[in-house]
Amino acid sequence: MGEKLEKLESEIAALHDTLEQKGINSRGTQDVFGRKFHLPVDAEHKSSIFGVGLAVANLPGSQPHMRAFWGATFGFFSCFFSVFAPAALMPYLRRPVSEGGIALTGAEIANSGAAGVGTTIAMRVVTGPLCDMFGARKTFIFLLLLAVPGIIGMMFITNGAGLIACRAFIGLGLACFVTCQVWCSQMFSKSIVGFANATAGGWGNLGGGVTQLVMPFIMLAFLNSTGQDVDRSWRLCFIVPLLLHVFSAAFILTGRDLPDGNYSELEKQGSKQKSQGGSVAKVGFSNVNAYLLLITYGLCFGVELTMNNKAVLYFYRYYGVSPQIAGVLGSCFGLMNLFARSWGGILSDALNKKYGMRGRIWGMWVIQTLEGLMCVVMGVITVNLDGPDDFSGEFVTGAYTFTEGRVTSEFLFNNTADLVPRCGSKQIVTPDVALVDGVYMPLPTADPFIMILDPDQTCLHHTAPLGLTMFVMVLFSTFVQMAEGLHYGIVPYVSRPALGIVSGMVGAGGNLGAVIGSRNIVHAAQPLDTGFINLGIIIMVVSLVMHGLYFPESGGMLFKAGALGKYDPQLIKPAADLRGADQLNYASGNQKV
């Protein structure tokens, strides 16, 4: 009889396991207030399963786990979209005032890009403690609304200073990456947290690619509706990111701080320890691993932000395509987030299952090194070809004849305000004319834009293989996003009591990397392809600091657990009774608030 009962219990347990793998809470586990969870959970009430299919099936998200996932994803997507919307419209904003732009200089464009990601550095550091004190959900809403004045301001700017100020304000909202990762870390079990964090972060990062893809076409739609009024059209485009921020904040408001409820009700009920901000801050800011990850995250997320600022203008100027085509090509870098960052999270969880934390770190280093290699290769493709940034010959006002294939064309350059670079492209204030059947006719171009042919055919526009560049860029982007996912498969393990602070520190490192990358590595004083080569070399060399990551209970890349004796990267030890914001006392459950 006992054996039959034991066999029956085993079969029931197996049935429960099967149903839970399908996303069904067959055991009927409840939160501390007696509410049944929608998904199967672990001992800490975090979801024990996650998958892309599950995420799609639970759109817009069931309470509390998938609601948090989609809230984090939509919110981060909105912030990314708004931060890089100005970059996608830069071909229009940089035009002279007489042509509907605000006459931006190259320095103003570069400074605005740096401002858009630079202000996030300090904000991400601040966001970590805010998450620990008030919860990721409320902090998320605060950041989304904080960026709104900057978005509205974009509709009224008249010069480069206004652009820089507005992009700096919008950039504050990009700190919501921290809230995205903290919220998901608090909702999903550690065995799958790499996948969950990577997918939410990746689909959120997708906003950077989507904005470069769709904003030029939104611009065309407004041009058609305003009678080709360029100035009014690009200003109206910012209604789209404004609406995204408002709708995302409203949706996040419907979620929960933790699987069992919100901070305030859980503290009142006794399940959650009240926030101890000072103690948590000392623990978080005294962890060596946090600082190492801060550096290395700047070499993947920082690179992505740098490319989001550079890609559209790169294709527009180097390959001479229209703003719309440049937007499509440039968006491919960000669009890899659709799956690549999730791949990084999946790889991190798989390596952890087989090799533990050491596997997570090794995987992160290998992928990030491949990222640097692809960055170098992308620059090498065009570095020996003459481009807009490094060809010294110029055409002055007058008539010139060029032969390309069997076609000979004569162009009259009648713009006396500027000299025209031979190998490159330039905004021309006065449209040039071509000699057609003995008569000078205006060039049939909607934009004041002309490609200058290079007679010896060494110009990048005629020789560089665009297809090869795109192929390498896609590989480059894939490794960038995977490296990001691998990073946040490790972050939740660094310091449980100071999860928010560590997440904020590492996230800030990403934006710091973007500022350094945009202003000091891939900068206006040298050709872009040379900048890509230098950036790739730096990625590979500095990523070697990952060998310094070490967890006493798990080891590191070079040393097994305990091999370094008493060394502990946690320099200031947390108090024995200090618990993380998501560590509850479940014995206090099922009590009325």
Residue 532 sits in a domain whose CATH number is: 1.20.1250.20
- The tokens for 267 are 């503290």
Point out the domain boundary residue: 415, 434, 456: 456
Measured CA to CA, the distance from residue 106 to residue 62 in angstroms comes to 47
Other residues' Cβ atoms within 10 Å of the Cβ of residue 557: 17
Mean pLDDT by 10 residues, the chain (593 residues): 75 79 87 92 93 86 93 95 91 89 87 86 91 94 97 96 96 93 93 91 87 90 94 96 97 96 91 82 94 96 87 76 78 86 94 95 98 95 73 54 50 46 41 47 41 48 77 95 94 91 93 88 82 95 97 95 94 87 74 39
Report the DSSP beta bridge partners of residue 442: 433
- The tokens for 514 are 């973007």
**Residue 461 located in a structural domain:** no
* Statement to judge: residues 450 and 473 lie in one domain: no
Taking a C-beta distance cutoff of 8 angstroms, is the pair 277, 176 a contact? no
- The tokens for 85 are 């919307």
**Residue 296: which residues within 8 A CB-CB, separation 6 or more?**
364, 368, 487, 509, 542, 543, 545, 546
Point out the domain boundary residue: 456, 476, 509: 456
Looking at the structure of the chain, the number of domains it has is 2
Q: What is the pLDDT of residue 584?
A: 87
Q: What is the pLDDT of residue 87?
A: 87
Tens digit of each residue's pLDDT (9 = 90 or more) over 121-154:
899 989 989 998 899 999 999 999 999 999 999 9
**Residue 129 located in a structural domain:** yes
Q: What is the pLDDT of residue 157?
A: 97
* Statement to judge: residues 153 and 268 lie in one domain: yes
* Statement to judge: residues 318 and 420 lie in one domain: no
Helix (H) or strand (E) holding 503: helix 499-516
3-state secondary structure (DSSP) of residue 489:
coil
In percent, the amount of the chain with pLDDT more than 90 equals 53
Measured CA to CA, the distance from residue 281 to residue 529 in angstroms comes to 42
Measured CA to CA, the distance from residue 475 to residue 163 in angstroms comes to 32
Measured CA to CA, the distance from residue 305 to residue 116 in angstroms comes to 10
Tens digit of each residue's pLDDT (9 = 90 or more) over 407-437:
455 555 544 334 444 454 433 333 444 444 5
Residues in the chain: 593
Q: What is the pLDDT of residue 392?
A: 52
State pTM to two decimals: 0.79
3-state secondary structure (DSSP) of residue 62:
coil
Q: Domain containing 440: what range?
A: 394-456
Q: What is the pLDDT of residue 222?
A: 96
Q: Encode 251-314 in three state secondary structure.
A: HHCCCCCECCECHHHHHHHCCECCCCHHHHHHHHCCEHHHHHHHHHHCCCHHHHHHHHHHHHHH
Point out the domain boundary residue: 409, 424, 456: 456
Which of 278, 313, 314, 301 has the alpha carbon at shortest distance from 120?
Answer: 301
Measured CA to CA, the distance from residue 311 to residue 334 in angstroms comes to 10
Angle formed by the axes of helices 65-88 and 176-187, to 10°?
160
